[in-house]
């Protein structure tokens, strides 16, 4: 018989692991709401062109990692590789720009990229993402708030050794100036660039800046000299300095990295990445930045000057970096045990009644010996075993056994709901 297994680069999140996921998700929702973010849920697939337009034709995600739906009906759609494009699509489609000066969204959900799987790199992974979008909303305060929020979340999740690296790519115009400057410079040293960068530098010269190859690094360092950041215009540099001084005011430590450029085309001005300990080579636990230009790119009102900034954190990497991967056993309030057919019927009704008053309950649907039913109650970590033995059935009562201290009491069947409600 053919055996089936989970697709490569994906995994089952099993019941024992769910409590770690719930803890992260619940904490996230609580913190995000305290910063004024509201949840948005968009489909897991969108038109392929939405991603091509947003992330850029030259990005690795569009070039190599888009998982497109190939059925005849759904041609032209792809699973979402990230959440920003979908949120901007929804922002414009639902005219949020006409309704409020700043929309603060968050999302929690699966993303899909056709990557080569390794530790911390999956084909289906989960992100907690945040996007703040609005007309005339660009402000260094908002950039600083977004960075503070990312660090706040990671701290609350117990992520160890979180380090924040930031950079500024400048305005759209700055990016063009910087591109042609570096393109001219790198063309003089084309033969010293690695194969990837030789093809990259025509299409997206920024990607050469973050290449880890030794010889590319030398070319980049020679071109950049002693500058700590990219050659920005006065306005962009002022904006970047403001963000940094606000971070300082909030006591958020950061490092400026001139090599940090990010792999997605939509960023301008502030970009950032957060790394953490214990993740191996895939050490980015989260990343983001400002992407104001994307709103026009996806059809925003040409007369409106939009601002947009956000980030996404990878939940699998958060779990790895916080060491919260130990399975937590589940528990149940009551396990009902019956000894015969008539008792089974009573037990079935009682389990139903217990659940309706908010007490979690279960039973063996096929009965069985008392010993094996008690074993099952133990395995489920039941707080109480409720036993309907022969004697109890005769006297219309039930034995209530406290599984923690072994104490046992007989309670009239008609009073057992009330009895347990008072106990919890
Ligand atoms: P990203 O850097 O592509 O940015 O992904 C953000 C985070 O998602 C990464 O730092 C990592 O933790 C996690 N991640 C990405 N790919 C994988 C993978 N294959 N396996 C496991 N985890 C992964 C974005 O997605 C942007 N949309 C962030 C953003 C929001 N920028 C502005 N707004």
Mind listing the pLDDT tens digit for each residue in 163-172? 999 999 999 9
Which residue's alpha carbon is at the smallest distance from atom 10 of ligand 1? Answer: 286
In this prediction, residue 382 carries a pLDDT of: 97
Out of 107-116, 179-188, 283-292, pick the least confident.
179-188
In this prediction, residue 280 carries a pLDDT of: 86
Rounded distance between C-alpha atoms, residue 132 and residue 270, angstroms: 14
Of 71, 68, 73, 70, which is closest to residue 48 (Cα–Cα)? 68
Atom of ligand 1 nearest to the CA of 290: 32
Structure tokens at 229: 């950041």
Which residue's alpha carbon is at the smallest distance from atom 25 of ligand 1? Answer: 82
In this prediction, residue 187 carries a pLDDT of: 87
335-339: average pLDDT: 97
81-85: average pLDDT: 98
Atom of ligand 1 nearest to the CA of 82: 25
Q: What is the DSSP letter of 389?
A: -
Q: Is the pLDDT of residue 221 over 80?
A: yes
Measured in Å, residue 312 CA sits from the centre of ligand 1 at: 6
Structure tokens at 352: 């139903």
Q: What is the DSSP letter of 121?
A: B
Which residue's alpha carbon is at the smallest distance from atom 15 of ligand 1? Answer: 314
pTM exceeding the 0.85 threshold for the entire prediction: yes
Q: What is the mean pLDDT of the chain?
A: 93
Rounded distance between C-alpha atoms, residue 313 and residue 154, angstroms: 9
Which residue's alpha carbon is at the smallest distance from atom 16 of ligand 1? Answer: 121
Which residue's alpha carbon is at the smallest distance from atom 23 of ligand 1? Answer: 314
Measured in Å, residue 60 CA sits from the centre of ligand 1 at: 13
| Site to substitute for ligand 1 among 287, 308, 320, most atoms within 8 A of C-beta | 287
Mind listing the pLDDT tens digit for each residue in 230-273? 999 999 999 999 999 999 999 999 999 999 998 788 899 999 99
Which residue's alpha carbon is at the smallest distance from atom 20 of ligand 1? Answer: 121
- Which helix (DSSP H) or strand (DSSP E) does residue 206 occupy? helix 206-209
Q: Is the pLDDT of residue 353 over 80?
A: yes
Of 41, 40, 61, which is closest to residue 52 (Cα–Cα)? 61
> Ligand 1 site: residues with CB under 6 angstroms?
82-84, 113, 115, 120-122, 125, 127, 129, 131, 284-289, 291, 310-312, 314, 316-317
Atom of ligand 1 nearest to the CA of 318: 12
Measured in Å, residue 81 CA sits from the centre of ligand 1 at: 9
Q: Is the pLDDT of residue 307 over 80?
A: yes
What angle in degrees, to the nearest 10, is found between the helix axes of 140-157 and 315-322? Answer: 50
Confidence category of residue 281, pLDDT binned at 50, 70, 90: confident
Atom of ligand 1 nearest to the CA of 131: 33
């Amino acid at each position: 018989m053919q055996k089936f297994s989970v697709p490569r680069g994906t995994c089952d999140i099993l019941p024992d692991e769910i409590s770690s996921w719930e803890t992260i998700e619940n904490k996230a929702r609580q913190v995000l709401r305290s910063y004024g973010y509201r949840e948005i849920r968009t489909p897991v697939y969108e038109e392929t062109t939405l991603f091509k337009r947003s992330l850029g034709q030259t990005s690795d995600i569009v070039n190599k990692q888009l998982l497109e739906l190939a059925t005849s009906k759904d041609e032209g759609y792809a699973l979402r590789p990230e959440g920003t494009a979908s949120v901007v699509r929804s922002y414009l489609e639902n005219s949020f720009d006409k309704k409020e000066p700043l929309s603060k969204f968050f999302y929690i959900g699966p993303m899909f990229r056709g990557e080569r799987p390794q530790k911390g790199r999956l084909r289906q992974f989960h992100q907690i993402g945040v996007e703040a979008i609005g007309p005339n909303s660009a402000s260094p305060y908002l950039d600083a708030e977004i960075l503070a929020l990312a660090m706040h979340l990671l701290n609350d999740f117990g992520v160890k050794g979180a380090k924040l690296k930031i950079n500024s790519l400048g305005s759209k115009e700055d990016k063009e100036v910087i591109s042609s400057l570096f393109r001219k410079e790198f063309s003089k040293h084309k033969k010293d660039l690695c194969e990837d960068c030789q093809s990259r530098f025509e299409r997206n010269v920024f990607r050469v800046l973050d290449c880890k190859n030794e010889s590319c690094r030398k070319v980049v360092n020679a071109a950049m000299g002693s500058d700590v950041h990219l050659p920005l215009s006065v306005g962009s540099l002022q904006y970047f300095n403001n963000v940094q001084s606000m971070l300082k005011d909030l006591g958020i430590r950061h490092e400026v990295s001139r090599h940090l450029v990010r792999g997605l085309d939509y960023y301008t001005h502030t970009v950032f990445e957060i790394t953490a300990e214990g993740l191996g080579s895939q050490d980015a636990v989260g990343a983001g930045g400002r992407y104001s230009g994307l709103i026009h790119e996806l059809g925003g009102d040409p007369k409106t000057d939009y601002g947009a900034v956000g980030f996404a954190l990878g939940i699998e990497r958060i779990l790895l970096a916080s060491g919260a991967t130990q399975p937590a056993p589940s528990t149940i309030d009551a396990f009902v045990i019956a000894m015969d057919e008539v008792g089974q019927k009573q037990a079935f009704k009682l389990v139903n009644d217990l659940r309706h008053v908010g007490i979690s309950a279960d039973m063996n649907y096929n009965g069985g010996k008392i010993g094996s039913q008690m074993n099952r109650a133990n395995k489920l970590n039941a707080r109480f075993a409720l036993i309907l033995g022969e004697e109890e059935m005769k006297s219309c009562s039930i034995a209530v056994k406290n599984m923690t201290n072994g104490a046992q009491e007989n309670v009239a069947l008609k009073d057992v709901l009330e009895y347990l409600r008072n106990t919890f």
